[in-house]
Structure 1
Amino acid sequence: MAGSKQKLFNRLKPFIGVVFLQFGYAGMDVLSKAALNQGMSNYVFVVYRHVFALVVTLPFAVFLEKKVRPKMTFSIFMKIVILSLLEPVIDQNLYFLGMKYTTATFAVSMYNVLPAITFLMAWILRLEKVKLKSVRSQAKVVGTLATVAGAMIMTLIKGPILDLFGTHGSNTHNLENGGINIQHAIKGSVMITIGCFSCACFMILQAITIEAYPAELSLTAWICLLGSVEGGIVALVMERNNFSAWSLKWDTKLLAAVYSGIVCSGMAYYIQGAVMKDRGPVFVTTFNPLGMVIVAIMGSFFLAEQMYLGRAIGAVVIILGLYLVVWGKSNEYESSSTITEDHILPAKQTIEKSSEKDREEHSNFEVITLSKLGAASIAQDEQV
């Protein structure tokens, strides 16, 4: 009974991990949007975020992985340098810039193209198998195209305002947050899409790096350290004449930096690496639609953001497309697991039979040898 529960928990661990990530990201989107609305620089925010993440993860990495941490090589170090540039610097800065031009709900909805981009890049790099005659592969391709179409609908079609949860954008601040114009929407969506490409590259490279450097906490600490340094250089250049941007007080800005650093950088990098070992980078990104739903609800309550019909239709198209991809991936995973088990069991049985046969032959050889020795000793006694 205990063994079956443990087996069920092991199967559910990847799902629990990615769902936790989406709740964490949803809180980050709402808090970061509030901090940006108060005038916080996105470049400084990214630096503080990874400094706080480093402070929290470094002690655990030093003590818990002291015996299992592999030797750092030049190849691994260069991969970590690229990782810290892709996600902590490029992706996050473009994401928060895009959020400034749009809303938190719009930004997280646009980010739902990440699984599709990750899937395409994995296909190009031959990390993802696609057979166009297979129903599963067709579902993945159609789902990928649907996510792109949904993103275009969200960007280009506005429609009437949907009154969700009884919240109205009655004042100027709410209109600025919800009623974004088409130029800002296009500019923000382009930035977020480029950030998605960068994040997809990060996911794939992290999956490759974790195989050569299987110490998730240490890898997380390295990414946060180098991300703080690289992001700090970018922030110093972009905010060179604005030293007040680095000041922090006991307000939403500090809360957003601490929360995002601990939950969405420190814990997120670690959980992503652990899940990738079992399910790969595409699986980690397929639960993004859950974050969109959470942010839409929280944004309506805490930020009084408006939801438009075009954005809602685009989000539905994205979700349908994504779960076509998930369906194709899940069936593929189940079938590959079945095939693996079918191959392992006969091989195991063959090895066991071979071992038994070897033991029998060895024992027979010993009996024959002993018999010969006994016969030889008897003959020697008779001669005497």
Structure 2
Amino acid sequence: MGDQRPSGLFCAMFIKLKPYLAMVSLQFGYSGMYIVTILCLKRGMSHYVLAVYRHAVAALFIAPFALAFERKIRPKLTLSTFLKIMVLGFVEPVLDQNLYYVGMNYTSATFASAIFNVLPAITFILAMIFRLEKLKIKKLRSQAKILGTIVTVTGATVMTLYKGPVLNFVRSQGRNQNKTSSGSTDQHWVTGTIMLLASCSGWAGFFILQSFTLKSYPAELSLTALICLMGTVQGAAVALVMERNFSAWALGWDSRLLGPVYTGIVCSGMAYYMQGMVIKERGPVFVTAFSPLCMIIVAAMGSMILAEQIHLGSVIGAIIIVVGLYCVIWGKSKDYATSSPLTCEKGGALELPIAMTDGSKLTVDDSNPNGGILMSDTRANSSSVPSVI
């Protein structure tokens, strides 16, 4: 009896921190993606081919897990769900990533990671349009989310319109300063920024559509495998049209092989699955609210490994974006705090808070051997037989 309370507290704490741990670890994975991707592009690998290989690796990696763990719970694939998966496979794996690769090649890995901090703001706006986010203007948490969105967009605008002088760091002063200073003038900075913002919009749309698709197809592993498969097929069709030279499909024992394998397993296979899990619990806005951590890691790695130059406009815009994102995250945390807390008593299974819209109410039966939640309907014209969730 004495060990049940500490284990229950630990269980509840882990469940509370699990979405944060998942998103923070994912940002470290994305940080490596920025560095590996820019190395692939500098080696001459086509970004169309990279996107195809990336999702082929992701599909091969995630499919065995989907077949093993979801064969009994996988719902029937309807035509409506299949069409949504096809759109998901085009929006993020094909459209979003190719725009991102071109935009990053025109600017830099550091700038690309920084401008992607506008993603939560775009996702928040789309979530409001599709009624996935509820706003109560008189509530402080809603005001914080609106203000944070405005500040975030302002920061992205500063990064787009103001480049500023170069901020020299220890490693970027030496071996590659002359090369980057002369090359930076040739970069299509505004065009690259517009492409990155378009990529952000596509990614935000992916999160919104993924949220709707999970409601009709609540099998995260299977959905991830299907998205990667559709992305591979559609991306291959685009790549065959855009890349007529078949030598562009060649791989080597260098970053051209590491790039597809790393980004496929970590940034597509694992990322889509983890994002789907957290979206079901916290919503799409929460998933996109951890970009500043990725920006900080990439800025450090880009300066040391790639000898990239960081401009003052990028730093100022990134700081503004971080302030705006903090407001959004604070508002989202207050939204979640107002919902029913998770319970973990007597060794029972933890259940997410469930909101009933049909007049039903939830009660906890301690005598239930499954530690489950009993749902009983108190309306006069309803059945009196409870069901166990």
TM-score tier after normalising by the smaller chain length:
0.7 to 0.9
Take 2:253 and 2:191, find their aligned partners in 1: how far apart are those partners?
A: 32
Kept after mapping to 2: 8 A contact 1:45/1:257 = yes
1:165/1:326 CA distance change after superposition, 3 Å: farther
Residue of structure 2 aligned with 1:119, choices 124, 129, 132: 124
Structure 2 residue corresponding to 1:323, chosen from 317, 323, 326:
326
Retained in 1: the 8 A contact 2:171–2:304?
A: no
Asked whether 1:13 is paired with 2:38, we answer no
Measured after TM superposition, the shift of residue 60 of structure 1 is: 1.1
**Could you say which residue in structure 2 is the equivalent of 1:173?**
179
Matched, 1:312 2:315: yes
Rounded to whole Å, the distance in 2 between the matches of 1:274 and 1:260 is 19
Partner of 1:380: none
Counterpart in the other structure of 1:293: 296
Q: Which residue of 2 aligns with 1:184?
A: 188
Which of residues 207, 210, 217 in structure 2 aligns to 1:206? 210
Q: Deviations over 1:69-112 (max 9, x none)?
A: 11111111111001101100111000001001000011111111
When the two chains are superposed, the root-mean-square deviation of aligned CA atoms in Å is: 2.5
SS at match of 2:339: helix
Structure 1 unmatched runs, 5+: 356-384
Q: Distance in 1 between matches of 2:363 and 2:34?
A: 50
* Cross-structure match for 1:3: 8
Within 5 A, what are the aligned runs for 1:202-241? 202-240=206-244
| Residue 154 (structure 2) pairs with residue 161 (structure 1) | no
Residue-by-residue CA offset, 1:233-279 (whole Å, 9 max, x unaligned):
11111112x22110001011110111000000000001001111110
CA contact (8 A) 1:159 1:308 kept: yes
Name the counterpart of 1:49: 54
Letter in 2 for 1:255: L
What is the percentage of aligned positions where both structures have the same residue?
54
1:354-365 aligned at under 5 Å gives the runs: none
Alignment of 1:269-280 (within 5 A): 269-280=272-283
| Aligned pair partner of 1:134 in 133, 139, 154 | 139
SS at match of 2:188: helix
- In structure 2, relative to structure 1, the CA distance for the partners of 1:277 and 1:247 (3 Å cut) is same
The structural deviation recorded for 1:346 is 8.8
Task: Note if contact 1:102-1:180 (Cα within 8 Å) is conserved in structure 2.
Answer: no
- Residue 105 of structure 2 corresponds to 100
Does the 8 Å contact 2:55/2:268 carry over to 1? yes
Supply the AA of the counterpart residue of 1:336.
S
Aligned residues: 351
Deviation of residue 165 (structure 1)? 4.2
- Per-residue deviation at 1:136? 1.5
**Structure 1 residue 162: Cα displacement:** 1.6
> In structure 2, what is the Cα distance between the partners aligned to 1:196 and 1:233?
23
Q: Tell me if the contact between 2:171 and 2:307 (Cα under 8 Å) persists in the aligned partners.
A: no
Question: Normalising by structure 2, what TM-score?
Answer: 0.85
Q: Return the index of the structure with the highest Cα Rg.
A: 1
Q: AA paired with 2:228? A: C
- CA gap 1:64/1:347 in 2 versus in 1, 3 angstroms: closer
Structure 2 runs not aligned, ≥5 long: 1-5, 342-351, 365-372, 378-389
Q: Structure 2: how far apart are the matches of 1:126 and 1:208?
A: 11
Q: How has the CA–CA distance of structure 1 residues 80 and 185 changed in structure 2, closer, same or farther, with 3 Å as cutoff?
A: same
